[in-house]
Amino acid sequence: MDMHQHFFRSYKQARDHFISSCGDFQTVVESHQHPGQGPEGNIYMDVASSGDPDATRVVVISSGTHGIEGYSGSGLQCLLLHEGLTEHLPHNTRVVLVHGVNPYGFAWQRRTNESNIDLNRNFVDFSQTPINTGYREIASIFEPQDWDANSSLIQDQIRRVVKAKGLEWYQGAVSGGQYEYPEGMFYGGTAPAWSNQTIHQVARTHLSFASEICWIDIHTALGPFGTAECIVDYAPDSDSYRRCVSYWGDRVKSVISGDSHSAPIRGSMITDLSGHYPALVGAGLEFGTRSGREVMQALIADQWLHRYGELDMARGHPIKDMMMDAFYPDSAEWRESIAKITRQVVDQAFDAFKG
């Protein structure tokens, strides 16, 4: 099968192909139905596993934590299956594929979930919810009551903020995570979301007896087109950081040291899981797509659409096209690049488990 045939542009097609691929390669699938619906019907977080159920080493590859990013993640998971991922596992090793961590955002082509929650900001202690004072200063920029396709005013406002406050301040204020503006950007919520609770259930099932765990969470839309980082939020002098470097070398970039394209964030899934499972280290495998300006423009437009607009209105479909282009470019060159990198990253994780 040509590699491009694993990549789809509807949730149902992507999920059907994943389930079919799992059946072709005799992986065990458990499906967790989301209480909501997508435009094509029921939606699920699907978990496929293969290998010795008593193995103490586990590699997890997840997709769709940021909804719309599941289109690339799903295609890569299916590609890995068809290229023999489950057929030559190292001794004492299992592989677990989590498809559609945030199926609602996946199905509706949103980065966020059914409550506008960014899941990678939702894994916090809600008795001590962080305060993002920076976002308070700029919330109005990212929550416009009307949308102009050219968005020149918004871009001018962003440029003025960056000039006045600096890029580092701006990135932290915008993408670090905020918990006060439910309709705003990078909102972390007020309680664990369905996907948060469900991924912990999945972890209890598959990781409780593991002594070594490597988690690769597939993301898109940060960095140059078709390139990738293994983004971690471990300090460079930590054992966890050193383990990641032993897997992936200089592809590892820490948000703490400032090496990564990502700003430091609050409430990431892997950080939280690492706290529950000390044997776990992981990275966000982040693929670059479009410029930061284009990605932010798409996010602001989508935020406006779901707050004030209608999907079937004249501006609805063009906004969804913007989102797909920003997070899942329809480019053979891009797919080939991310496939090559994913093979390398996954192979390096398994090679480390052969010792």
pLDDT for 191 equals 97
**Residue-wise pLDDT tens digits, 46-64:** 999 999 989 999 999 999 9
pLDDT for 309 equals 84
- With 90 as the cut, is the pLDDT of residue 151 above it? no
- With 70 as the cut, is the pLDDT of residue 348 above it? yes
Axis crossing angle, helix 292-308 with helix 316-327, rounded to the nearest 10 = 140
**Residue-wise pLDDT tens digits, 299-321:** 999 999 999 988 887 788 999 99
- With 70 as the cut, is the pLDDT of residue 149 above it? no
- Residue 223 CB coordination number (10 Å): 19
Q: Which residues pair with 280 in a beta bridge?
A: 213
Burial class from Cβ neighbours inside 10 Å (0-12, 13-18, 19+) for residue 343 reads middle
The DSSP symbol for 39 reads T
**Residue-wise pLDDT tens digits, 106-148:** 999 999 999 999 999 999 999 998 899 999 999 999 888 888 7
**Residue-wise pLDDT tens digits, 158-196:** 999 999 999 999 999 999 999 999 999 999 999 999 999
d(CA 216, CA 7): 19
200-219 mean pLDDT: 97
Q: Which residues have CB under 8 Å from 334's CB, separation 6+?
A: 225, 226, 287, 289
Burial class from Cβ neighbours inside 10 Å (0-12, 13-18, 19+) for residue 31 reads middle
* 141, 161 Cβ separation under 8 angstroms: yes
**Residue-wise pLDDT tens digits, 244-292:** 999 999 999 999 988 888 888 999 999 999 999 999 999 999 999 999 9
Confidence of residue 354 (pLDDT cuts 50, 70, 90): confident
DSSP sequence for 169-191: HHHHHHHS-BSS-TTSTTB--SS
pLDDT for 209 equals 92
pLDDT for 312 equals 80
**Residue-wise pLDDT tens digits, 83-92:** 999 998 999 9
11-19 mean pLDDT: 98
- Terminal Cα distance for the chain, rounded: 33
